[in-house]
Structure 1
Amino acid sequence: MREQSVEIRAAGALLAGALSRPDGDGRHPSALLINGSGPIDRDSAMPGMALGLGRELAVALADHDCVTLRYDKRGVGTSQGDYLSTGFHDECRDAAAALAALRAHPAVDPERVFVVGHSTGAVVAANLVRAVAPPAGYVLLAGAAQPGDQVMAWQSDRIAATLPRLLRPLGPVLVRRQARERDRIRRSTTDRHDRMPRSRLTDRWLREYLAHDPGPDLAVIDRPVLAITGGKDVQVDPADVSRIGRLVTGPFDGEVPPDLTHLLRRDPGQPGLWRYRAQLRGPMDGWVTERIAAWARIRLAS
């Protein structure tokens, strides 16, 4: 595998990324990786969390003759711009710029460019159906099919229900507090708030995400789609895999692996946000990248 640094010309900023390509000449099928929420870099890492999807996906796809482009978000890593001034819609536009840059690369077959999105990155990926030249396929990992406010309400309920037994009485308090916070965000008019969460999600980003409904985007996707959400995901409803399948009109493959979590790790224990630290000590499940590679080989065959 060969890797080179690339620059992506987005609105008002140059985004930095890495293009990984298999050995050999010619044009190849290609994937654009879009990470989830927060100040995440090209390797799917942010302070306090190293998901590892970026590098592992690039290696796995290179073994299957695919090019991969992954990039640092605006204001993250070596990308220009200000992360804290970036909204959800800005991230959608940045992803469209990255898609255009990937398609224009001489090692890429422009007719076989697909997108891989994780978490809110999957929502951004679905929005690329609105791009001037949409992707040839979509891989939605832990992707939602419902509006952002419904996703976050479900998330609050699920996290509360999966707290350790001793903390479970605090669940209703958590749910009410999160509901009040969502109400505050909807009413807000500023970009950020003094009590910004550890995730570094600003009021502007959250306000735009809460109001965004991916359903209309999914409904006009007529290209192949692979949707994977773990049965132990506590941030996105696994039932959204079926919802995605009912919305899209292209060839659809859906998977809900029983022990897979939102962090793309297998965990035989009880689901819960409190188990994330232990999950991150282990590797990402190799089945995920192999499933993506196998899907791309079949669905994007020349």
Structure 2
Amino acid sequence: MKFYLLVALFFFASDLFADQTETIIKLKTETGILEGSLMIPTGNSPVPVALIIAGSGPTDRDGNNPAMKNNSLKMLAEALSENGIATLRYDKRGIGKSQQAGVNESELRFDHYISDAKDWVALLNKDERFSGITIIGHSEGSLIGMVAAQESCVKNFISIAGPGLSADKVILEQIESQSPQVLTRVLPIIERLRQGKMVNDVNPQLYALFRPSVQPYMISWFKYDPTEEIAKLKMLVLTIQGLNDIQVSEAQAKMLAKANPHAQLKLVDDMNHIFKQSGTSRADNLASYNQPDLPINPVLTHVITDFVMKNDK
């Protein structure tokens, strides 16, 4: 997908730390404009830069969506900037300030997200202020990032809470754990989608999940197996997993790390899916999803900083 860098809109936000500046930049794609926030630590350049890719659903560049506000990705960007690492985080197409770049649901493909990530990397590669690029993918953004990294000039790849199973298997696991009696009705639908075929006669009870307009996206998504994709990466890889994550298991993180001989695995105590320090109870864990002032686990920042700085030399 070709892109054109528009005139950057610069501003200095009053709530930023004194050693950071944040720049709004826009990227023109074939379907509309994407918007991102580039945060650069003050001081001598060049500095390493990380492209942060948000997870699934209507999650914006800060890690928020209409149902929750936790500022997880914004906090990560600010913390990395304090440690000398620039970051670019962006609203995915159809989300936030990138809403106009969205396409009709029936036309959306997983590859759109991959192409967008590649375009942001290409933009960063042209900027002489940066010494090297690291892709950081969170949750579903992990798969987007690892596929984009295969054909992009990046130094490192970091997966945070990235699933080790393909999306079709994740859906089946979730359905089996929540509604085992529904599994027999879902299995033939999933199998047909795996084969790249549409399913027209969807049970009304399953229509919200498998409506015809979303099936082309699911077909494009199911074809990517995270363990196969991460195995293709030739750069250094870091897989990070919080041990209090109730969405992605430790076992899936280990699957990813095992699949790539260059991968390192870091397990973070007391960290949940959105980087927050949480208790072991499910209620406390979920409560943190809507606590925008609750800090992220500091170990996450230290682990990423050490990895990026060590490999930027």
Give the aligned partner of residue 47 of structure 1. Answer: 66
**Distance in structure 2 (CA, Å) of the matches to 1:20 and 1:176:** 48
Q: Does 1:265 align with 2:285?
A: no
User: Which residue of 151, 161, 172 corresponds with 1:142?
Assistant: 161
For residues 86-139 of structure 1, the C-alpha deviation after alignment (integer angstroms, 9 at most, x for no partner) is 321111111111111122223222xx20011000100111112332x3321011
After superposition, the Cα gap between the structure-2 partners of 1:124 and 1:231, relative to the gap in structure 1 and judged at 3 Å, is same
**Distance in structure 2 (CA, Å) of the matches to 1:178 and 1:293:** 43
Unpaired segments of 5 or more residues in structure 1? 161-170
**Distance in structure 1 (CA, Å) of the matches to 2:234 and 2:306:** 20
User: Which residue of 241, 245, 262 corresponds with 1:229?
Assistant: 241
Q: Do the aligned residues in 2 keep the contact of 1:154 with 1:237 (CA within 8 Å)?
A: no
User: Which residue of 29, 41, 65 corresponds with 2:48?
Assistant: 29
Q: Do the aligned residues in 1 keep the contact of 2:135 with 2:149 (CA within 8 Å)?
A: no
After superposition, the Cα gap between the structure-2 partners of 1:70 and 1:152, relative to the gap in structure 1 and judged at 3 Å, is same
For residues 162-216 of structure 1, the C-alpha deviation after alignment (integer angstroms, 9 at most, x for no partner) is xxxxxxxxx53465676577468655369xx99546xxx9333333222321223
Q: Does 1:94 align with 2:113?
A: no
Give the aligned partner of residue 7 of structure 1. Answer: 26
For residues 230-282 of structure 1, the C-alpha deviation after alignment (integer angstroms, 9 at most, x for no partner) is 233333232122222222132x32123343322222332344xx665412244
Amino acid at match of 1:259: D
For residues 8-50 of structure 1, the C-alpha deviation after alignment (integer angstroms, 9 at most, x for no partner) is 2333322111100011242110000001111222112111022
**Distance in structure 1 (CA, Å) of the matches to 2:32 and 2:66:** 22
Q: Does 1:105 align with 2:113?
A: no
Matched position secondary structure for 2:268: coil
TM-score, normalised relative to structure 2: 0.78
Matched position secondary structure for 1:90: helix
Unpaired segments of 5 or more residues in structure 2? 1-19
Q: Do the aligned residues in 2 keep the contact of 1:234 with 1:261 (CA within 8 Å)?
A: yes
After superposition, the Cα gap between the structure-2 partners of 1:156 and 1:258, relative to the gap in structure 1 and judged at 3 Å, is farther
Q: Does 1:297 align with 2:297?
A: no
TM-score, normalised relative to structure 1: 0.81
Work out the percentage of aligned pairs sharing the same amino acid. 24
**Distance in structure 2 (CA, Å) of the matches to 1:121 and 1:11:** 21
Q: Does 1:246 align with 2:266?
A: no
After superposition, the Cα gap between the structure-2 partners of 1:188 and 1:234, relative to the gap in structure 1 and judged at 3 Å, is farther
**Distance in structure 1 (CA, Å) of the matches to 2:56 and 2:62:** 14
Q: Do the aligned residues in 2 keep the contact of 1:129 with 1:217 (CA within 8 Å)?
A: no
Give the aligned partner of residue 149 of structure 2. Answer: 129
**Distance in structure 1 (CA, Å) of the matches to 2:236 and 2:277:** 26
Give the aligned partner of residue 165 of structure 1. Answer: none
Matched position secondary structure for 2:238: strand
Q: Do the aligned residues in 2 keep the contact of 1:113 with 1:135 (CA within 8 Å)?
A: yes
Matched position secondary structure for 1:42: coil
User: Which has the higher mean CA deviation after the structures are superposed, 177-186 or 68-77?
Assistant: 177-186
Using the TM superposition, give the Cα deviation of residue 56 of structure 1 relative to its aligned residue in structure 2, in angstroms.
1.0
